[in-house]
Amino acid sequence: MAYASTNPATGEVVAQFDSINNATLDLLIERANDAFQSWKDRPIAERAAVVGRAGELMRERSEEFAKLITLEMGKLINEARGEVKLASAILRYYGKNGGEFLKPKPLQVPGGEASLVYAPLGALIGIEPWNFPLYQVVRFAAPNLVVGNTILLKHASINPQCALALEQVFLDAGAPEGVYTNVFIESDQVAHAIEHELVRGASLTGSDAAGRSVGEVAGRNTKKVVLELGGSDAFIVLDGENLERTIKAAVMGRMANTGQSCVASKRFIILESCFDAIRDGMKTAFEQLKPGDPTDESTTLGPLSSANAVKGLVEQIDDAVMKGATLITGGHKIDRRGNFLEATILTDVKPGMRAFHEELFGPVAVLYKVKDEDEAIALANDSPYGLGGSVFASDVERARRVADRVETGMVWINHPTSSLPNLPFGGIKQSGFGRELSDVGIHEFVNQKLICTLPPDGQLMGAGG
């Protein structure tokens, strides 16, 4: 029983599903390839209409989806509603704009004409995480379905019901059988799928360890891969103007999704002039968070996705404290049923402590005091990750200069890193490579094919090579 919905607020197992074996997986891959043969020849407008309709259906089923998300991974119900809204918006965005993004690009050629056309590749496998069970999937599936690729989707083993509900949305929107297929496979079967000759590419959103494993198999088999991995975003504060707003943003940046976001603000790098005020403000806000049932709208601190997630974070916190870090607040599992961890603030974190370089995937903020802008930038860049980040300052030009020197895929000024359908999303370094969303994301799994036309009696230019 590899796939199970376990309510993180209670520990109760509410549904279980068997994994399929490799022989069944092969049949589903063949079916995805068969579906590709006709899906790719449908007019783009028809494919885009199916994707847009999936977005409408998701919107109609908002409450059902939100409840499933909360049940399976513990997201606060209002945040779950927000995720459904964003996922539906992404589907509708590609439904509306996908055709435009895929228009051939005209190019110059002496004595003739040329264009770059965007042709689909075939069946792709997506491997997705539980932290945003809908949003992560549609970031990959929506653009690729418009392109004409077909999708095999291996979702996280803790949210099987979200996985099935997503598959149903695409079927109900009119995607023919085999165009979008949920596959309940174990993570060690992913290599088998990538190695299959009919699978033309792979995209993984998840931990850096999973990314390395998928990247290695894809590389060995010369398959295109996109990796959206972990992050340890810096939240740089350059001055104490708008203090209240900055503290509110810091709490939001760290605590959204109970801290389980790749682009959560994880390292707060604060100039010394305003360090104490921000630390105290965050401490007060963290201590006011109210743990409880995530389906109750008054709860402000939800459970983590699994008991293991709590255990792992407590180990990271203990390691830091044992090596000399200061615990400003929190630091412990909450003594109640379910996977609850106190909202935690650490200071005096130094190289050599796990919390300095590792990702803290939960409600744990690390605060650093720095003397100037250069020290802030050096610390922000002293990370194996390079996903997002943010800079807070009353002088927007100054913040912009700092943003230019931060080595990540995304930097937001005066707002924690966020996501919208039309903004490219992705990172560098151990955070992976490739981009999702916007017009950039739709061009990852396409054959950017050059077609060059010269007149039959035109002058010969010479062969290339």
CA distances 308 to 22, 259, 311, 359, 365, Å, are 28, 15, 5, 15, 19
Segment interacting with ligand NAP, rule: CB under 6 A, options 47-55, 154-162, 176-184, 287-295: 154-162
Scanning 26-34, 152-160, 296-304, 338-346 for contacts with ligand NAP by CB under 6 A, the matching segment is 152-160
Q: Which residue is nearest to ligand NAP (CB)?
A: 206
Residue among 72, 83, 128, 262 flagged as catalytic: 262
Binding footprint of ligand NAP, residue count (CB under 6 A): 29
Rounded Cα distance between 31 and 20, Å, is 15
**228-267 footprint of ligand NAP as x/- string (CB under 6 A):** xxxx------------------------------x-----
Asked if 107 contacts 114 with a C-beta cutoff of 8 angstroms, the reply is: yes
d(CA 403, CA 412): 8
Binding mask 269-298 for ligand NAP (x = CB under 6 A): ------------------------------
- Contact of 303 with 340, CB cutoff 8 Å: yes
Shortest Cβ 341–ligand NAP spacing (Å) = 15
Which position among 74, 98, 120, 129 is part of the footprint of ligand NAP (CB under 6 A)?
129
Q: Which residues pair with 429 in a beta bridge?
A: 385
**Is 444 one of the annotated active-site residues of the chain?**
no
Structural tokens at position 198: 């009919």
Phi, psi of 346 (to 5 degrees): -115, 140
User: Does the footprint of ligand NAP cover residue 339 (CB under 6 A)?
Assistant: no
Nearer to ligand NAP, 240 or 312 (CB): 312
b/e per residue, 9-28, with b = 16+ CB within 10 A?
beeeeeeebebbeeeebeeb
Q: Which of 70, 144, 203, 205 binds ligand NAP (CB under 6 A)?
A: 205
List the helix and strand counts (H, then E) for the chain: 15, 20
CB-wise, 182 or 431, nearer to ligand NAP? 431
Which residue type occupies 458? G
Q: Which of 128, 167, 233, 293 binds ligand NAP (CB under 6 A)?
A: 128
* CA–CA dist 21, 10 (Å, integer): 31
Q: Of 246 and 316, which has the nearer Cβ to ligand NAP?
A: 316
SS3 267: strand
For ligand NAP, which residue of 131, 144, 265, 417 counts as binding (CB under 6 A)? 131
262 catalytic? Reply is yes
Q: Which residues are catalytically annotated? A: 228, 262
